[in-house]
């Protein structure tokens, strides 16, 4: 059921249809863990810091929230949640 709801959620958001690079479940789990315990700080227009990890935030949503220089990405839902968290936290800096 959860997979169907996620599918429908992104079906009406064409910006999320094309995603590069390929999905990686290990990075998805790590990014979700970091988002539970750490805060985003803005480094520049391309990257942000999340705890001890630097993440690529440019090219949102199709290539964002990946480790710089590594071609893996989290799930669409993690990208969506990470972007909301990033916008909320950098606007409060």
CB atoms within 10 A of CB 31: 24
Q: Which residue has the tokens 């290539």?
A: 63
C-alpha–C-alpha distance, residues 89 and 91, integer Å: 5
Tell me the average confidence (pLDDT) per consecutive run of 10 residues in the chain, 93 residues long: 72 75 96 96 91 92 92 94 93 70
Q: How many independent structural domains does the chain possess?
A: 1
Domain containing 79 equals 2-91
The confidence score (pLDDT) of residue 31 equals: 97
The confidence score (pLDDT) of residue 22 equals: 94
**What's the pTM?**
0.85
The confidence score (pLDDT) of residue 1 equals: 73
The confidence score (pLDDT) of residue 75 equals: 92
């Amino acid at each position: 059921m959860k997979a169907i709801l996620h599918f429908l959620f992104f079906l009406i958001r064409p910006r999320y249809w094309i995603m590069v690079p390929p999905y990686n479940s290990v990075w998805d789990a790590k990014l979700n863990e970091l988002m539970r315990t750490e805060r985003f700080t803005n480094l520049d227009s391309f990257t942000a810091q999340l705890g001890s990890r630097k993440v690529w935030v440019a090219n949102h949503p199709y290539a964002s929230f990946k480790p710089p220089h590594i071609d893996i990405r989290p799930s669409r839902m993690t990208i969506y949640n990470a972007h909301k968290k990033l916008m909320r936290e950098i606007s409060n800096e």
